[in-house]
Structure 1
């Protein structure tokens, strides 16, 4: 069995196990996966195209880091706003609006003629990308059975790294200096072509509809933002979740944007660097399903512990060798544990908050993570410009992984304690 068939069969089995009795639920997961794949392609595109864009527009490390971070700057408010709007107006409507936004401005990126227009295009693209993710998490989580929600989120999220792998593949297929625009053409037309499918086949969350019915009948009020995040004993979980998101995403986006340039500086060819980047993202797709499946099978605490330990191993491999095969292995492990680990954090976030505030809570956590998406590439660009080595940056990230791991485990422990109390009652 070839690799594409293996991936397809694995996804089909996972989707059938999520909710075999409801075809609309399975279709929801598939559609969310497709949108996540397109989002992953667009998020990775600047990292793949960065070196070529730098040559065309005369950008140094600091300017390139600013361009990367400007895209992430749009993600930050959009994640929180998109999550909040989903609790007010529905997951489907907000997701469709987000898809239009990042599709249109990904196309606009192909028409930039300099550094300033590039910043504007990436900022506006980031608004659409940021608003989409909380809705993808809520829709996939609420479409599945309670005992398969971890896997449902993982199946959806695997589209992100697989989309990023596709971006790396496109970078290999168009190695010439003008080929970087092809990435953004695909990243723009793809979402606009998927939009009619979302309108026709994507079903609104039954949990959201039930909550709106309760509110309309006067039996409940729409919870405010403060209530959603900090009331009913959620303050400690929210704070720990934010710390874990922030630390993990700083490292994730540092590698996502700077790994190709770091590998080129090690003496790898452009093709070899793109291969490592492709393996990194492919490992993320495998890890998304593997890690969330482990959470359903062996529990969240051991899975999260293994996940963060794997991140340390990956950074050591990437920081201590220049051999292409070892770097490929390091990239694959980093993809499984770091990119794949994002699906675990998204799943944990979706379980912390009840339905009526899930979009708000998840959106706020994703927004905090987006701060890391800004700090990671921008900080790395400044440190590299100041003369620090890539190895120094990789090893300096390890304490941040430790802090993020402790925070994530605190959230898991809180969730497990509440579950035990519910069983006792």
Structure 2
């Protein structure tokens, strides 16, 4: 009898369910941007107020990731994921019932908390559902749901008619997670590694490690710091492009249709990159994958900075999505590999939270520089040194944990 067959089946089910949740998360993260013009007309919101509506959801992601990761190590990955999914589902529906600017901010902040808390648990569940040598592939397969979910949000926005149609996207973003909850309850298995670790701790009467020990003790301080630098630098550039790429296309004198094509190519590239680049880590090793990934990011930025036609902008958008979004899945896989099971949720959650700071800082810094007269092309080119710093930090993480040692901490 092949005892590994049920384990492989459970792993595939876990990754599939986590992919569905990531798809819904990507949809919800994109929903405010898609619905913004019609929401602004209905509630008579100024541009600055819409900026707050965008930012408050991102602000909720940061504490959500840190808290969700910490609770994962205490309560279990499955339980916290289900609570997170329920939270962002309920408050996405609540967004359809808002009556003014303040109620909109409250609903989006609470949605952000749920979305932020889900991601560390998705990463932990996928990385612990497969053998260590398949961990990066599993995390990448889950994370590809994010850009595809964002693309679905854009489609819903297009096919929803009239000014009232903006509510449709939030209904989908809320009902979808609530319908997923019974599937998670019935078919999602708690991480066997987490259960075994908790049993060992109980047998030896050991308390769960504190945050300081999880992140900074037992030789992890330098690794944690380098991981945070790589997350922050990469996500500053990623979210700068997510927010400003359409404006950059229009500033070149191209049409809104061409801008939409560039954005679509960015999302397609992101979905492909999340699967392919993370999977390469398991096949050719971490150092060549991370090196190639950051060289690809720098090349994509150079193409975007110099592009002048719709075709070259679309090609640059495809490359940027491929390597930046793919790079994010690689960093998630690295984070899940360098922390032992006992503190994996805390370590991954903290790294995700630091990355969420980049999602706030990137658009904010870019907006301020554009306001004083810098062009988007100059900002894209200026992002290349930041990517170089992030690359050095990620390679330091890899150097501290060669392939064998990554696997050693998996158990």
Please say if residues 172 and 271 of structure 1, whose CA atoms lie closer than 8 Å, have aligned partners that are also in contact.
no
Change (3 A) 1:222 1:329: same
Q: Does 1:41 align with 2:27?
A: yes
Q: Kindly provide the CA deviation profile for residues 70-113 of structure 1, in whole angstroms up to 9, marking residues without a partner as x.
A: 11100111101100000000000000000011111112223334
Where in structure 2 are the equivalents of 1:7-406 lying within 5 Å?
21-57=7-43, 59=45, 62-174=48-160, 177-406=163-392
Q: Secondary structure at the match of 1:397?
A: helix
Q: 2-side partners of 1:176 and 1:199: how far apart?
A: 37
| Distance apart, 1:59 and its partner CA | 4.9
| Distance apart, 1:30 and its partner CA | 0.2
Q: Kindly provide the CA deviation profile for residues 211-256 of structure 1, in whole angstroms up to 9, marking residues without a partner as x.
A: 1111222353311111100111100000000011111111112222
| Distance apart, 1:45 and its partner CA | 2.0
Q: Does 1:415 align with 2:401?
A: yes
* Range 368-377 or range 319-328, more displaced: 319-328
In structure 2, the partner of 1:10 is none
Q: Secondary structure at the match of 2:130?
A: coil
| Distance apart, 1:25 and its partner CA | 1.4
| Distance apart, 1:422 and its partner CA | 7.0
Please say if residues 337 and 406 of structure 2, whose CA atoms lie closer than 8 Å, have aligned partners that are also in contact.
no
Q: Kindly provide the CA deviation profile for residues 262-288 of structure 1, in whole angstroms up to 9, marking residues without a partner as x.
A: 434444444432332222112111101
Number of residues paired by the alignment?
A: 406
Q: 2-side partners of 1:407 and 1:19: how far apart?
A: 38
In structure 2, the partner of 1:11 is none
Please say if residues 287 and 395 of structure 2, whose CA atoms lie closer than 8 Å, have aligned partners that are also in contact.
yes
| Distance apart, 1:402 and its partner CA | 1.0
* Range 66-75 or range 123-132, more displaced: 66-75
Q: 1-side partners of 2:401 and 2:257: how far apart?
A: 45
* Range 81-90 or range 120-129, more displaced: 120-129
| Distance apart, 1:366 and its partner CA | 0.5
Q: Kindly provide the CA deviation profile for residues 146-197 of structure 1, in whole angstroms up to 9, marking residues without a partner as x.
A: 1100101111111111111212223333475544332222111111111110
- Unaligned 5+ segments in structure 1 are 1-17
Q: 1-side partners of 2:364 and 2:227: how far apart?
A: 23
Q: 2-side partners of 1:123 and 1:393: how far apart?
A: 29
Please say if residues 165 and 279 of structure 1, whose CA atoms lie closer than 8 Å, have aligned partners that are also in contact.
no
TM-score of the pair, normalised by structure 1: 0.89
Change (3 A) 1:176 1:406: farther
| Distance apart, 1:54 and its partner CA | 4.3
Please say if residues 223 and 357 of structure 1, whose CA atoms lie closer than 8 Å, have aligned partners that are also in contact.
yes
Q: 1-side partners of 2:340 and 2:118: how far apart?
A: 20
Q: 1-side partners of 2:251 and 2:113: how far apart?
A: 32
Change (3 A) 1:174 1:397: farther
TM-score of the pair, normalised by structure 2: 0.92
- Unaligned 5+ segments in structure 2 are none
Q: Secondary structure at the match of 2:401?
A: helix
| Distance apart, 1:322 and its partner CA | 3.8
Change (3 A) 1:422 1:161: closer
Q: 2-side partners of 1:52 and 1:387: how far apart?
A: 29
* Range 120-129 or range 388-397, more displaced: 388-397
Q: 1-side partners of 2:15 and 2:250: how far apart?
A: 37
Change (3 A) 1:315 1:67: farther
Please say if residues 35 and 157 of structure 2, whose CA atoms lie closer than 8 Å, have aligned partners that are also in contact.
yes
Change (3 A) 1:421 1:367: closer
Q: Secondary structure at the match of 2:402?
A: helix
* Range 214-223 or range 197-206, more displaced: 214-223
* CA RMSD, Structure 1 to Structure 2 (Å): 2.4
